[in-house]
Structure 1
Amino acid sequence: MSNGPDNILGNLAGQTDFVEAEKLKIVEQHLAQFNGFPENGAMLNRLNSALVEGREISGADLSFYYHELKEAELMASGLSYEEAHTTALEFYRVSPFSVYHPEVIKTFSYRFSKVWLKAWSIEN
């Protein structure tokens, strides 16, 4: 995939949705098993804010939300994390770089390689 948000967002480019409390709880419970990832906490904060504000999400927020929901579903059906992660990305035809918002990547830049910055055209 070439650089730029629309290219890395695959089938989710231009799409929007609302965060649902029940689904957000699934995402939170799913991510609880992967302790120690502050970028996941930051993404959850973004989703919680959208829920409280009744605001639609798009872009990386939507990609993260849908990805984690699908990954949770697949792991519950018996897939390993690696299989579920790859299958969830393929399901939405998104780049692995699509699941973290550029602001989160900037905030936790020490956790992301330069490839992530390039994918989102972030200057460092």
Structure 2
Amino acid sequence: MSSPYLPHAIYSVAIISISIHLVNQRKLVSDERARIAAQTSILESISEQLRSDKPLSATELDRLKGLARPMEHNPAVEGMPGESIGWREVFLGNKKEDGMSKWEKRDVEKMNQDMEK
């Protein structure tokens, strides 16, 4: 038995989904613009300091260059590149592996590498 409200419920879910997606895209674009503006400001600061007669220390230059570098990929926010997500994972979630997440594994590997040094 089909309810007469079923099409309206489906349309509502579709509209809400599209709205959330568009808000998310708008937020990503504004964050990207802010990041580019910050990088531009830092690079302009470096160029002004290099043009001035004041000596620029190597540590300060390295710090500013580090700030101006593009942000590394953050999989917690954007997901893994090239990793496809199927409908099964969407509804059932990701499978747990060994009881440790990939982030915990990476932290353990990093600690092991640091201890070897």
Q: TM-score, normalised by structure 1?
A: 0.20
Larger Rg: 2
Structure holding more strand per residue: 1
Higher relative contact order (CA 8 A, sep 6+): 1
